[in-house]
Amino acid sequence: MSDLPPVVTCSTCGAKIVWVKTEKGRPMPCNAGMRTIVTPEGKTVRGWESHFSSCRDAELHRKKQEAGT
């Protein structure tokens, strides 16, 4: 599969990540290894897990929400 995104390194924790676009077209860091999961409907799908779920420095990368948004 040549359509896979390039593997890069997280700037704070050093883990291997890939950048993928969400359904809304926004870039999202994900752990480099694809995973197979089963949806609540029983469908098996392959994809990437958000790097925010495992990065020890995730809070450094999150954008702060303005009050009232």
pLDDT tier for residue 64 given thresholds of 50, 70 and 90: low
End-to-end CA distance of the chain: 40
For 17-34, what is each residue's pLDDT tens digit?
999 999 999 999 999 999
Q: Where are the alpha helices (DSSP H) in the chain?
A: 58-61
Residue spans per domain, the chain? 8-57
Question: 3-33 as b/e, with b when 16 or more CB fall inside 10 Å?
Answer: eeeeeeebeeeebebbeeeeeeeeeebbbbe
pLDDT of residue 62: 67
